[in-house]
Structure 1
Amino acid sequence: MKEHLEIDGDKRMSYYESAAKRIRNIDPNLYIGISQKKYEEVRTKGEYASDATLIAEYYRRVGVFLQHLSREATGIYVGMDLLIGYRIPDDAWDNFVVDFPNFKDIDLSLIKLLSMHYLRWCALIDERNSFALQFPDIYEPIITLFERGGGRISTHHHELVGGFGGFPKTIYATRGDMNPFDISEGALEKIIEEVKFVEAYLEEYRNGDLTERNCIRCGNRLLIHSHITEYGYPWYKIKCESEHCFNKNFS
């Protein structure tokens, strides 16, 4: 958690106060009206790739928590507080936009709901709840996503969607077996830079420039493999020669 136990003058901020400060600082202009726009009008492919990393790390942390609770799965809408028996008060939704007016004109329900669960979790940390104390930073990836402008997420059928590709709407405990994802500012910006570089390489390739490029992650060659869909549309796989390095599809 970025701001826990921050000193504000002579007063030590509680976890809840620190969380509330973060939620109030989320810029509503990042979200107002974007639900009517195409995904490519809102964020770049690189930004969506960094969003996917944050979501994957959130899923991983929830998976670890599920393993701790001996539960197999949960849904994206379910907060950690609900998993340990707490319930959201009936008036919580209405009170949220009163306490956080920057969310009043944002018509994205999932960002509001997860922010509410985050605040409740931080309140439980202040109350010295044993579960919350063991997993104080479980919401860090998803709140970072919202702060960076990647909170246009919703569900469709069985998937979480938002321009970054599909994640299952259900979060399974097996996610906790994955290695942690680096969600530092530097790592996320590196992802954006990497995709931007590869997009430029692909554009040059399409224009007939067959000069090879090297991966900015490891320095080895990037290989472009072109394909045609059954409907006649081209798509490309750009893959680094190094194993477990850059490997993405582009249309």
Structure 2
Amino acid sequence: METHYTRAVNRINNIDAKYYIDISNKRYEDVRSKGEYTADATLIAEYYRRVGVLLQFMSIEGVSIYAGMAKIINNEIELLDFDNLFKICPNLEPINLTVLKMICSNYIQWCILLDAGDPIAVKFHDTYEPIIKLFERGGGRISTHHHELVGGFGAFGRSIHASRGDMKEFDISDQALRQEIKEVEHAEEYVKEYKLDSSVTKNCLRCGNRLIVQENEGYGGKWYKIKCETNICFDQNFS
């Protein structure tokens, strides 16, 4: 039977390094589409939520994005430094993304705890699933700047607070993520058509009701909010 550790190492080694090598020199919009970044944000939000649930259980107020969940549960666990990480997962060595490498290291430590049968790790066994899925999908170009985790998706807090655990669970199934991407692409097409003809209309892919265009002026010029007329449905900004 495959151990959690073996599965983790295999998953990390299957991350395609070509997604990330020299990626820091590229503009966000040249790497992924707005729809893909929207799906990336969902995966990060769900990771933050799952960490928040664990923090609430442990009565911890918050942790850094760099913190390993295994270390929170068992402070005596030995850290996996980058030298040893690269021996296990050599595909990570040429990638110049510290957050990605730190989280992969933390994920391996987490799986070691799972294999040891740690009851808390077992209870929250899937904590790392959203963020590892993000890396597998090519969305791991994330970094920290001041107090934020930044990327093409925008920004999240650099610290993950226990209050994140109060959020509603995000659907991170492949089907749900594909749907998110389609919805954004649909709205992008609407903006293009609207700029040519403001009388054009489109309906929401999610619920079927009408999408509403709101024009706005900002320092960078005109931008558009595409919002479904249904409350708590599609709502995004486009340039």
**What residue number does 1:244 align with?**
232
Quick one: distance in 2 between partners of 1:100 and 1:71?
31
Q: Which amino acid aligns with 1:67?
A: Q
Quick one: distance in 2 between partners of 1:100 and 1:64?
29
**What residue number does 1:48 align with?**
37
Answer yes or no: is 1:162 the counterpart of 2:155.
no
Quick one: distance in 2 between partners of 1:103 and 1:170?
24
Two-structure CA RMSD over aligned residues (Å): 1.1
In the TM superposition, residue 209 of structure 1 has moved relative to its aligned partner by: 4.7
The superposition leaves residues 59-106 of structure 1 with CA deviations (integer Å, 9 ceiling, x where unpaired) of: 0000000000011111101010121214544x7211111221111211
TM-score (norm 1): 0.92
Quick one: distance in 2 between partners of 1:15 and 1:86?
20
Quick one: distance in 2 between partners of 1:146 and 1:168?
19
Task: List alignment gaps of at least 5 residues for structure 2.
Answer: none
Match of 1:146 among 130, 135, 140: 135
Answer yes or no: is 1:98 the counterpart of 2:87.
yes
SS at match of 1:171: strand
Segments of 4+ moved more than 6 angstroms: none
Q: Which amino acid aligns with 1:249?
A: N
The superposition leaves residues 175-202 of structure 1 with CA deviations (integer Å, 9 ceiling, x where unpaired) of: 1011100000000010011101100110
Match of 1:38 among 7, 14, 27: 27
In the TM superposition, residue 225 of structure 1 has moved relative to its aligned partner by: 0.3
Quick one: distance in 1 between partners of 2:69 and 2:76?
9
In the TM superposition, residue 210 of structure 1 has moved relative to its aligned partner by: 2.2
* Number of residues of Structure 1 aligned to a counterpart in Structure 2: 238
**What residue number does 2:108 align with?**
119
TM-score (norm 2): 0.97
Quick one: distance in 1 between partners of 2:122 and 2:212?
46
- How much identity, in percent, do the aligned residues show? 53
Task: List alignment gaps of at least 5 residues for structure 1.
Answer: 1-11
Quick one: distance in 2 between partners of 1:232 and 1:152?
25
SS at match of 1:190: helix
Answer yes or no: is 1:189 the counterpart of 2:178.
yes
In the TM superposition, residue 143 of structure 1 has moved relative to its aligned partner by: 0.2
